[in-house]
Amino acid sequence: MTPTERPLQGRTILLVEDEFLIQMDLQMQLEDAGATVLAASTVSEARACADQVVDAAVLDVRLADGDIFPAADRLAERGIPIVFHSGHADPRAMGHAYPGSITLSKPSAEGALPMALARLTPVRRASAAG
């Protein structure tokens, strides 16, 4: 990818996915698009990461240890943009519960996730220390 093809350059993305191969594929897509990825695979890990400095989050809805909503609620409280990437999410219901969120069916088309995140985070935040 050229620098102009790195729409997530300078952004930190929380990625929550419990299927290892899917998580690795998504992480590579996001990193190829320029993002730094903070990965989690359980609801408890996601809740712990929800207070980290991130520009946006990609959340699977159903994880092995429960549904992602406690972490999604915390991210929404903080104003962190969310992309739900799941086979178990109704876009209309997610949009109602989490205004401004985007829902992509799993599996999403190659490149759809980085583009959705770029739409949610069009202006890179000032770099935060720490």
Helical spans, DSSP H, in 15-127 = 20-32, 43-49, 69-77, 91-97, 112-120
Is a pLDDT exceeding 90 seen at residue 16?
Answer: yes
Query: What average pLDDT does the structure give for the chain?
Result: 89
Q: What is the pLDDT of residue 77?
A: 96
Model confidence at 4, in pLDDT bands (50, 70, 90)? low
Whether the pTM exceeds 0.85: the reply is yes
Cα 118 to Cα 9, 23, 49, 73: the distances in Å are 10, 19, 21, 21
Averaged pLDDT for residues 45-72: 95
Residue 102 counted as domain residue:
yes
Residue 128 counted as domain residue:
no
- For tokens 């000032």, the residue is 126
HSE, side-chain direction, 13 A CA sphere, residue 125: 15
Number of domains in the chain: 1
Residue 70 counted as domain residue:
yes
Structural domain including 114 reads 3-119
Is a pLDDT exceeding 90 seen at residue 88?
Answer: no
CATH number at residue 91: 3.40.50.2300
Residue 124 counted as domain residue:
no
